[in-house]
Amino acid sequence: MKPGDALVVIDPQVDFCPGGALAVADGDAVMAPIAALSAAFATVVVTQDWHPAGHSSFASSHAGAAPFSTMTMAYGEQVLWPDHCIQRSAGAGFHPAVIPAVDRARLILRKGINPAVDSYSAFFENDKVTRTGLAGALRDLGVRRCVFVGLAYDFCVAWSALDAVREGFGAVVLKDHARAIGMPVSGGRTTVDVAEAGFAAAGVVLG
């Protein structure tokens, strides 16, 4: 830890944990460690996926589309997910074991609210143009480096870390405090491989 560090907890929600609508394997195992880690940070930020029903990123919004297939949207390729983290649903709530971190949060940022555009990153919607306002808030708080934990490592955590660098912050991802989906992609790779190649190119530190 350094002065000016912020812990950014990405989407520690029920729907992303075992038994949830878009479960990440072993996702619940990182919740208590994240809660414990948060006590060491003066600045904690928590993000929350907060989709309206019928969001365009849901497979159920497109006739005949299967979950985890992809579709080209106006802003690029989009994975079509099972319905998850619908506003005010139980699955959109925070996992009980992470509540101490949520209670310490200076900011809880809701994302994915626009029904036409998904938002993996804590900094930008998936069009990579529309800002969430997080960068400005962190600068106002004197943050210089973001330490990322949470779910999922290869999607929302990865996109957030890469955008942190893009916005001029240092970025660290604590892999032991995150879990991945690990979807296959072309060339025999997975989304974890893609994320980690991005980290290496951008200077994101794996801790």
Q: Which residues are catalytic?
A: 11, 111, 156
Question: Which amino acid does the sequence have at 162?
Answer: L
Distance CA 161, CA 149 (A): 10
Query: Which residue is listed with tokens 């934990």?
Result: 149
Neighbours of 29 (CB within 10 A): 14
What is the residue type of 68?
F
